Amino acid sequence: MQRIIFHIDVNNAFLSWTAIYLLNHGYKQDIRKIPSVIGGDEKARRGIVLAKSPIAKKYGIVTAETLYSARSKCKNLQVFPPNYAFYKEQSKKLYNYLSQYTPVIEQYSIDECFLDLTGTSLLYGNDYVSLAHKIKDEIKEKFGFTVNVGIGENKLCAKMASDFEKPDKVHTLYLNEVETKMWPLKVNDLFMLGKSSAKKLNDLGIYTIKDLAEANIGLLRRHFKSQGDYFKEAALGIDYSKVEPRNAKNKCISISRTLPYDVTRKEDLLKILFSETEEVSFTLRSQKLYTGTIAVTYRNNLFKNYSHQITLDNPTNVTEEIYKGVKTIFEASWKEDPIRNIGVRLGDLKEKAVSQMSLFEESDVKVVDKVEEVMDSIIKKYGKGSVIRASKKEEDYNIERRQ
DNA sequence: TCTGGGGTCCTAGGACCC
DNA sequence: TCTGGGGTCCTAGGACCC
């Protein structure tokens, strides 16, 4: 049976949402209509473009470039900080609204959803383009921001379609339209085909999605392994993946911070790691999960990334135990280079602390669990910083603000 | 005032076992 | 003093997404 998938994508999400927030709070200008970007804090060394207005785009400003570079392209560029709490609110509103149309909905990211509308013709009729317009216009009216809707017979085509022309548009990419609508595009317009693969393909004389669709599969496999098969199928518009409602648990939980200056003192790095461990452990427990592997990730002053990890004998969700692992990894792996960004990642997440513990150890862990539980509930109620471990003094938290 | 943060997935290579 | 091969687990690094 023919499937019908919608992909809904908020246009310039962070910028649109900040525009709405500002308008709601008495700001006179709609920042969607001027050369503007949402950007990180340059003083904290996070100064990159997170989202851009259509006019900023016309100046050649692209996502993820430095604000410094963006300004050099457009002298009167206006920069606004992100407001993640508000973005999450807007995202949730959108998701709840879209859920009315089908229970088979997948939130792909903060500003994107897939809807599977297969077999809904009795409810909505067969005119999916009209339905898409209705959804798009209702969102604009109800929430004040615009979206693109892509319609296809699978997720890949729906996703590619929503990317065609922006903003505030509906596009289809049915299988019989792949040749006319998708093949003329450059290879790196294909979903999941990034810069690095595009360069390799160009070196092989493959420039367009059509070239890719017609390329020799053996050649692709030689250069890209299993990814070669994906490229070929995607270029033909083939995709069998399902729209999966996301009750699925995370595969990993991580946190990392770019520091306001390069940190070289071991004690300072350990304090940062401790605070990160507390946050990531809190998230772990709030999702009722246990971690099986712990990793410490680094980016040094030369922008070189590296990481080390360990596998635990017994999965845990206890901050002190996780920190013990973090410290062990740090001692073994830090190259004593100046650190620009440092993080903690918990992986191999499990629903249960399955282990070969003795009964005695198990009851021991339960006591620690209880302590964490109480601390977590206080943090939930009164916020971060309301509970501080005896081993940890207030000033430990202030490393990032020190100059 | 140069270059974020949170994810998923894949691959290569080494250790280890039978 | 010739030196296998399959399977699994683990780690490091990289590509890619928004």
CATH of domain A183-235: 1.10.150.20
Per-residue pLDDT, averaged over A98-116, amounts to 96
Q: Which two tokens stand for residue A185?
A: 């595009």
| Nearest amino-acid residue to B6, taking CA and C1' | A254
Measured from the Cβ of residue A122, the count of other Cβ atoms closer than 10 Å reads 7
Strand B closer than 7 A to residue A43 Cβ: yes
Q: Which residues touch strand C (CB under 7 A)?
A: A 13, 64, 108-112, 191-198, 293, 295, 305-311, 333
Give DSSP secondary structure letters for A142-163.
HHS--EEEEEESSHHHHHHHHT
Residue A204: in which H helix or E strand, if any? none
CA quadruple A161, A248, A192, A65: dihedral sign: positive
Catalytic option among A112, A153, A278, A321: A112
> Who has greater pLDDT, A246 or A82?
A82
| Nearest amino-acid residue to B4, taking CA and C1' | A46
pTM flag (> 0.85): yes
* Whole-number Å distance between alpha carbons of A310 and A253: 15
Range(s) for CATH 1.10.150.20 in chain A?
183-235
CA of A345 to C1' of C13 (A): 15
| Nearest amino-acid residue to B5, taking CA and C1' | A256
- The yes-or-no answer on residue A112 being catalytic is yes
Tens-digit pLDDT profile for residues A306-324: 999 999 999 999 999 999 9
Range(s) for CATH 3.30.70.270 in chain A?
1-178
A239 CB-near residues (< 8 Å, 6+ apart): A154, A155, A156, A157, A233
CA of A236 to C1' of B7 (A): 27
Contact A186, A198 (CB under 8 A): yes
Range(s) for CATH 3.30.1490.100 in chain A?
253-382
Residue A329: in which H helix or E strand, if any? helix A319-333
CA of A339 to C1' of C12 (A): 19
Which homologous superfamily does the CATH classification assign to the domain defined by A1-178? Answer: Reverse transcriptase/Diguanylate cyclase domain (3.30.70.270)
Q: Which two tokens stand for residue A87?
A: 């973005």
CA of A295 to C1' of B13 (A): 19
Per-residue pLDDT, averaged over A286-305, amounts to 96
Tens-digit pLDDT profile for residues A334-367: 999 999 999 999 999 999 876 544 444 555 555 6
- Give the start-end residues of each E strand in A331-372: 339-347
* Whole-number Å distance between alpha carbons of A354 and A368: 17
Task: Give which of A94, A97, A114, A96 is closest to A105, Cα–Cα.
Answer: A114
CA of A295 to C1' of B15 (A): 20
Per-residue pLDDT, averaged over A101-124, amounts to 95
Q: Which amino acid is at A323?
A: Y
CATH of domain A253-382: 3.30.1490.100
Strand B closer than 7 A to residue A341 Cβ: yes
> Has residue A392 got a pLDDT over 60?
no
Residue A244: in which H helix or E strand, if any? none
| Nearest amino-acid residue to C18, taking CA and C1' | A109
* Closest nt by CA–C1' to A305: C13
Place of tokens 């509970």: A387
A161 CB-near residues (< 8 Å, 6+ apart): A7, A150, A151, A152, A171, A172, A173, A181
* Closest nt by CA–C1' to A110: C18
* Whole-number Å distance between alpha carbons of A86 and A3: 34
Tens-digit pLDDT profile for residues A120-177: 999 999 999 999 999 999 999 999 999 999 999 999 999 999 999 999 999 999 999 9
A386 by DSSP, 3-state: which? coil
What confidence score (pLDDT) does residue A84 get?
Answer: 96
